[in-house]
Structure 1
Amino acid sequence: MTNVSRLPGPAEYLWQWQTEAACRGLEPERFFHPEGERGDDRAARDRAAKRVCERCPVRAQCLRHALRVQEPYGVWGGLTEEERRSLASPLRATA
């Protein structure tokens, strides 16, 4: 279960960036893999999601959010969950 205590409060300014996201209005299945998806299918879905992120004006804010709350699933800010975990691991080791 996700630990929601890490999530920021309901202050709207914390979430305003989402209104400008390139993914807004797209189907979530593009960014979150179904259970058991592996191999070429998963890699293709991740590439398609990252193409959306490449043109996103709020990509940095999205990635910052995903790292801050330790988002466990999906492509956020152009990185998969595995890529975010590997990026965050050295940061946790020095903290």
Structure 2
Amino acid sequence: MTAVSPVAEAIAGLLTLPVWTLPELQALVHAERRPCWDVDPELFFPPDGDGPAVARQVARARTVCAACPVRAACLAVALAPDAAADAGAGDDPDPALYAPDGVWAGLTADERRAVASHWYALRRLAASEDVPVVADSPVDDMLLAVA
């Protein structure tokens, strides 16, 4: 049995969302009781670094997120462009993440950045049938298989 990467699993979860606009996603997240409400918020913001203590904290945060009924919507909100951070980005095709730090929906900031460009592409594709989809990575191959 092949293990699914957290990034591929997150993208698959995004495909199941019933809504894709930010206000609707936020309403979906806030409508449910979330497991993260019952733990110290600091759990989701480990210190910088790669040590074993950081890895344990990220693992504990992932465990909390794994039980969440609105995990995919939480991720979509975390991936939403941060208009304030993106204001000076110029022609950068990938807007700044709303949640640049911490663990959101079980993903670290680096993992969310890996998911972000795919999420933006999915949203563009949903908005226009004229957007081409080109498979150039294993995640893209997965998305084409789902489409």
1:60-89 alpha-carbon deviations (Å, 9 max, x no partner): 110010011411011111111110112224
Query: Which residue pairs with 1:31 in the alignment?
Result: 44
1:60 paired to 2:72: yes
One-letter code aligned to 1:21: R
Report the CA distance shift for 1:13/1:53 in structure 2 as closer, same or farther (over 3 A): closer
Alignment partner of 2:100 out of 68, 72, 75: 72
In the TM superposition, residue 56 of structure 1 has moved relative to its aligned partner by 0.5
Larger Rg: 2
Structure 2, unaligned runs of 5 or more: 1-21, 82-96, 125-147
In the TM superposition, residue 14 of structure 1 has moved relative to its aligned partner by 2.9
Report the CA distance shift for 1:90/1:17 in structure 2 as closer, same or farther (over 3 A): closer
One-letter code aligned to 1:30: L
Residue 23 of structure 1 aligns to a residue whose secondary structure is helix
TM value normalised by structure 2: 0.48
Distance of 1:22 and 1:82 partners within structure 2: 23
Structure 1 vs Structure 2 CA RMSD? 2.8
Residues matched between the structures, number? 85
Query: Which residue pairs with 1:22 in the alignment?
Result: 35
Query: Which residue pairs with 1:40 in the alignment?
Result: 52
Residue 72 of structure 1 aligns to a residue whose secondary structure is coil
One-letter code aligned to 2:110: E
Structure 1, unaligned runs of 5 or more: 1-7
Residue 24 of structure 1 aligns to a residue whose secondary structure is helix
